[in-house]
Chain A
Amino acid sequence: MGIVLLLVICSLIISGGFLLAFLWATRTGQYDDMATPAIRMIYDDTTATHRSRSDKEHHGYDDTL
């Protein structure tokens, strides 16, 4: 009996936390655009200087700057 009470309280706290996280995410607009962030994450963070098309075509990637 006591253990069931503990489990119920734990599960409610945990799931309630997720609910709050969801509400927060929705209210801050994180579900407004579901397409772009998925694309944005594939970019590399580095902004290298001048890269030419031909380098990319030869090696598949660019290692010259």
Chain B
Amino acid sequence: MTERTIIEHQHSTRAVCLHCGEECGARSISTPDGAFCCTGCEAVYRILSEHNLCDYYVVGDESTRHRRPSFRRDDYALLDQSDVKTRYIEYADDERENLRFDVPNLHCVSCIWLLDRLHEFDPGILVSTADMSRRQVAVRIHPQITTVRNVAELLAQLGYPPVVRAESSHHEDQQRQQERRSLYLRMGVAGFAAGNIMLFGISKYLAGGALPPSLSLLFNILSITLATPVVVFSASPWWRSAWGAVSHRRINLDVPVALGIAAIFLRSLVDIILGTGDGYLDSFAGLVFFLLIGRLFQTKAYDSISFDRTYRSFFPMYVRRERHSAVTTVPIDDIVPGDTMIVRHGEVIAADSVVISRGGYVDYSFVTGESAPVECVEGTYVYAGARVTGRAIRCTATAAAARSYLATLWEQSGSSVPRSSLLRLSDRFASVFTALALTIAIGGAVLYLPDVTAALDVFTAVLIIACPCALTLAAPITLGTAMGQLGRQKIWLKNTATVVQLAGVDAVVFDKTGTLTYGDLVLTRQGDPLPDDVELAIRRVAASSSHPVSRALAADMSEPADDVEEGQQAIRGHALGYDVILGSADALRHQGYTTDEVPRAIVHAAVNGEYVGCWTAQSAMRARMDVSIQRLRSDGIVTMLASGDTDREAELFASAFEQSEMIFSASPDTKQHLVSTLRADGHHVLMMGDGLNDALAMSAADVAVAVTDATATLVPACDVIVDGDSAHHIDKIIRYSQTMKKFIFINLGVSVVYNTLGLTMAVSGILTPLAAAILMPVSNLTVIGIGVAAARWYGRRSVWE
């Protein structure tokens, strides 16, 4: 501390933090190197400079660097236990261990730079590689020199605390990666074959039959050789899917596709071998290639975002348990009734329990949505899911975590409600389509009987042209592009089918806290602004108290004032030569001050014996949210507000909602009931929420939208994750989805036109290889072009401004 001095800044000469580049607040730390805004930033800077890694400050932009690392040494103690450790280990032998950590804070150029250089910090770390798209860092360590825990702690120190991994996530990761790789491999093979066969085809078409027979034979042999791996390898997903469906006596859209590509390949083979024609192998390989592109769009997903969570995701994995006055970190499931837990500021209580320490504050914003903190004293019963604010509390568990009120509530909701899906729709369509195609094929063939050759020609030609290739492309490509456009606006969809779900929405239920409003408690100063130094003094006095309102008033200030006396409803302290009293209206009146009568005033202040005004607490509505609700309403969509909070802020929403559309003090059950009732009335319900208290209602809704102000934080299981800044786009999201659904139908129309044209040619027996080679790519490209253009045009940037 000797070289540090606390500087109180004057109005204009504010220093900039050397680490994060943000303006240093009132409490800055000055060192010979420069100023820092907080001890966290200084700590990271020290680590970096000790290891000669100050290049960190040269790469990347400053604006994104700010993270206040906060962790305690025992947070990762559990990583010394082998069963927990293995979740992070991908591969291990005596010489090395390959680890993988999820680090949600990884988000910019400098993050990658730093995380690629972990080996500079610890000689036991051999290599580290950051992965931006998955927000992971892969680390190879020497197990004799360092441990998993050391690496986790290093990451946390640098401001990238690794997230606890679920046991299965590792396996799922690898499976998804494997699937994507095999899709690329299939595309590579199909594209290669298609290009080459097409070159042979073009020379045949251009020569118009004048090709020397030997050359023609060579081309045919090469074409078949190239097409074989396409049948066996590239097209195998369709064989498998179609066979799976048929053996379960169902028909999916892959059945007519498989029929079509089988027909086209076999017919070509027969034609070429018998010398009755040139075959359609060029169309065949191109077709498979296009189909694979469609599949690529269909499997589009965001790797870095997790959409499926249970209540457990909100709970800590590990709990600090006190036994015989020794504190150990144990897995949450090890907590049994009677165990004493120590829960610190910002942490969630994992099991229903009774407070045994002096008391403190908890808020149930996760569980009920009520953001105002509740005071708890010795003997108060607290539910699992409560988050501690301010002072740490000790409590005794009364039930195991799995038997807590919240957990049982969750079990009641059971598995999620069956939703009308795109898949079911397309399956129904597929059965009709397949039946129709087979009827036309057989009917056409019968017309040409007894000429068996001609009949077979027509039969296969119909199956070829009826292959619903363009149809299968239309939806995934339109929806996949739409998903990408939404992603740019920080609206992340779970999968492409979600767009169709969104398009059907005709009722929207909003949660209040954190969804319609900003999540934090915001204090608004009433009356004239205070001089800077008076305000600083007030904030320093506020910072000395652990009361949540004081904390909100102190904002980012953490340097406490001197000789603070904390009374029942007021605190008094000295800072910067001012004598500050903060407290409730009653407390100040009690001391002889006249306080202003302001509704919702939550804290009043007096400085040097003079009353200086008050602050009101209210959650502010997100910007432009009211406009969005108005637009939803004018589109004929039912809008409802279901808040776990009391109705003290009802008038804030009076402009947006009718009185009858607002439900306050709603329990998670009530919210779920509301959603179920709306669904029972035939509505297609979208539930928009942010916390655990909405999770039940969200699982009951047709579409669940989670709002989050930081993608790294936990959100309930959902179909869509929306960044807080984009939450007011909800009306546009629905409209956009509706437009996209319309374009899928337009595309279906287009492909039906092409198919009819082709069918006419097929039935009249004039579907030559050349006609097929032109018709197929043209129809596919038209459909792709329309889909991509529509999704891009209707989702262009200016639409969202």
Contacts and interface: CB of A to CB of B under 8 A. Distances in A.
Interface of A: 1, 4-5, 8, 11-12, 15-16, 18-19, 22-23, 26-27, 29, 31-36, 39-40, 42-44, 46-54, 56, 62
Contacts, number: 92
Contacts of A19: 188-189, 192
A34 B113 CA distance: 16
Contact of B112 (A8, A11, A36): A36
B222 interface: yes
Interface in B433-467: none
B55 interface: yes
A12 B222 contact: yes
Nearest to B116: A40
Contact of A31 (B49, B55, B184, B218): B184
Contacts of B773: none
Contacts of A16: 192
B655 interface: no
Interface residues of B, number: 39
Interface string B33-61: 11000000000000001001111011100
Contacts of A29: 177, 181
Interface stretch (B128-136, B389-397, B611-619): B128-136
A35 to B, nearest CB: 4
List the 6 closest pairs (A to B, CB-CB), nearest first: A36-B132, A35-B132, A35-B133, A19-B192, A22-B188, A26-B184
A46 B112 CA distance: 16
Given A5-B218, A53-B34, A39 B181 contact: no
B749 interface: no
A47 B55 contact: yes
Question: Which of A11, A16, A19, A34 has the largest count of B CB atoms less than 10 A from its CB?
Answer: A19
Contacts of A56: 57-58
Contact of B177 (A15, A32, A34): A32
B687 interface: no
Nearest to B177: A32
21 contacts: A5-B215, A8-B218, A15-B192, A16-B192, A19-B188, A19-B189, A23-B189, A26-B184, A27-B181, A32-B177, A32-B180, A35-B133, A36-B132, A36-B133, A42-B59, A42-B109, A50-B49, A51-B55, A51-B57, A53-B21, A53-B57
B196 interface: yes
Contacts of B276: none
Contacts of B184: 26, 31
Nearest to B193: A19
A51 B132 contact: no
Interface in B97-154: 109, 112-113, 116-117, 129-134
B196 A12 contact: yes
B109 A39 contact: yes
A19 B184 CA distance: 12
B185 interface: yes
B212 A1 contact: yes
Given A11-B199, A50-B54, 5 more contacts: A19-B192, A35-B132, A36-B130, A46-B55, A53-B18
A31 B188 CA distance: 12
Contacts of B379: none
Nearest to A4: B215
A46 to B, nearest CB: 8
Contacts of B57: 51-53, 56
A51 B54 contact: yes
A31 B180 CA distance: 9
Contacts of B55: 44, 46-48, 51
Interface string B198-230: 010000000000001011001000100000000
Contacts of A31: 180-181, 184
B105 to A, nearest CB: 15
A11 B198 CA distance: 13
B785 interface: no
A32 B109 CA distance: 19
